[in-house]
């Protein structure tokens, strides 16, 4: 196993442990922002692992395919693969695209909590 593979495995094992912890705090009815922080940490680990795998792929498979003259084939494969990376092919999400109620969001920003959310 090379250094990049070890790095990915370590990130995935850390994420696995954190997911177990998140499940426990959700089951214990933890404060929502605390859960969200933990989810964000796991997402960061997974995104980092994905970037490492992309780098490894570029340095090995893509470079080799291009040296062999298979540029079109490898570019097509890479474009297909990158569709899974939300940061590459998807525009940034705005409140309108995520189904947020902008009117309600404005009230929250002004210090008004929607009914039934006090203390969460």
The mean of the pLDDT values for the chain is: 80
Higher-scoring residue by pLDDT: 45, 108: 45
38-70 burial string, b = 16+ CB within 10 Å, else e?
beeebeebeeebbebebebbeeeebeebeeeee
Among 55, 41, 39, 47, smallest CA distance to 3 is for 55
The per-residue pLDDT for range 55-86, each reduced to its tens digit, is: 898 999 999 999 999 999 999 998 888 887 77
């Amino acid at each position: 196993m090379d250094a990049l593979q070890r790095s990915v495995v370590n990130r995935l094992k850390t994420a696995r442990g954190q997911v177990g912890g998140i499940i426990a705090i959700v089951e214990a009815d933890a404060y929502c922002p605390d859960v969200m922080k933990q989810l964000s940490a796991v997402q960061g680990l997974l995104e980092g692992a994905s970037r490492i795998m992309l780098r490894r792929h570029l340095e090995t498979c893509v470079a080799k395919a291009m040296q062999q003259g298979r540029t079109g084939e490898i570019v097509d494969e890479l474009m297909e693969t990158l569709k899974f990376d939300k940061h590459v092919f998807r525009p940034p999400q705005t409140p309108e695209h995520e189904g947020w109620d902008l009117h309600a969001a404005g009230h929250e920003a002004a210090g008004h909590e929607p009914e039934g959310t006090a203390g969460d």
